[in-house]
Amino acid sequence: MTVTFQVGDREFKQAGNLDIDFWITNPTGGLEANERSVSTGDHSFVAKHDGKFVYCFSNDNWSANSKEVSFNVHGIVYVPEAEGTTDPLEIEVRALSDLLAQVKDEQSYIVLRERIHRNTAESTNGRVKWWSTFQMGVLVANGVFQVWWLKRFFEVKRVV
């Protein structure tokens, strides 16, 4: 079984802490994986027990910002040899189907990463815009101050 996830933020203005806690519990209550303070992950393991595996994402110990978790859970379905087919064409079709599912999973992961990187770039562009506006204001204020100071410096002061 494999669980792949990535934490994102739809609102790029809150680009910041995207850490969460993640764990997988097996049917006997034991931990298969336990990660703290992660924003991406790819956990694969062999199921040693039959039953229901629980995977959890927690934002309890982190900021109150809303976070979006995109995840994909996939595993190999094992078919006993007695039930399996021996037709080579069907075996090849199943193999191609598995490969196609992997490509689809990888594409959805790439789309999520692109969204996260776009949000980061938009946030950075906004900050650069405001910083350059501030710098322009300081530059204009400095120019006005220098003109005023030089005018004052060259004024003729007469004492009558």
pLDDT reported for residue 15: 55
Q: Is the pLDDT of residue 13 over 60?
A: no
Of 128 and 158, the structure prediction assigns the larger pLDDT to 128
pLDDT in tens, 121-151: 998 999 999 999 999 999 999 999 999 999 9
SS3 for the chain, per residue? CEEEEEEECCCHHHCCCCCEEEEEECCCCCEEEEEEEECEEEEECCCCCCCCCEEEEECCCCCCCCCEEEEEEECCCCCCCCCCCCCHHHHHHHHHHHHHHHHHHHHHHHHHHHHHHHHHHHHHHHHHHHHHHHHHHHHHHHHHHHHHHHHHHCCCCCCC
Of 80 and 49, the structure prediction assigns the larger pLDDT to 49
- Read off the pLDDT band of 47 (50, 70, 90): confident
CA distance 117 to 160: 71
- Mean pLDDT of all residues in 55-78: 77
pLDDT reported for residue 81: 58
pLDDT reported for residue 2: 84
The β-bridge relationship of strands 40-44 and 31-38 is unpaired
**Residue 60 is encoded by which pair of tokens?**
């309890």
pLDDT in tens, 70-126: 888 877 666 555 555 678 898 899 899 999 988 998 898 899 889 889 988 998 999
Q: Is the pLDDT of residue 12 over 60?
A: no
pLDDT reported for residue 96: 94
All structural domains of the chain with their residue ranges: 2-124
